[in-house]
Amino acid sequence: MPENCPVCHQKYEMETGFWYGTGYVSYALAVAVSVATFIAWYVLIGISVDDNRIFYWLGFNCFFLIAIQPWLMRLSRVIYLYFFVRYEDDYESTKPKEFDA
């Protein structure tokens, strides 16, 4: 990943350890995906402990989260960066946002 945006020259790593907060965003996204797959599984297939359908959902959910992990990581970085840096319509004449590093 480049250190600065090639268009607006915004520095991506604002301060040391800036991206550690993306772990919390990624966790929230993983929980949201798990809840969504659980609800979809419950509506479409149903949940029962008697015939192990809940364990099939757990296996499916685990595989699905591993498969979409690259997208979740990238999305969590975008969401976390947006908490601190907003889009500027006039980015060419404004200075990129900086933190004390």
What is the pLDDT, as a whole number, of residue 7? 78
Residue 92 near residue 7 (C-beta atoms within 8 A): no
Of residues 40, 7, 27, the one with CA closest to residue 79? 27
User: Quick check: is 56 in a domain?
Assistant: yes
Band (100; pLDDT cuts 50, 70, 90): low
User: Quick check: is 14 in a domain?
Assistant: no
User: Tell me: the pLDDT tens digits for 11-69?
Assistant: 777 777 778 888 999 999 999 999 999 999 999 998 887 888 889 999 999 999 999 99
Q: Around 43, how many Cα atoms within 13 Å sit in the side-chain half-sphere?
A: 6
Look at the chain and report how many structural domains it folds into: 1
Beta strand extents in 1-101 (DSSP E only): none
Structure tokens at 77: 């970085």
Domain that holds residue 63: 22-84
Would you say the pTM of this structure is higher than 0.75? yes
User: Quick check: is 97 in a domain?
Assistant: no
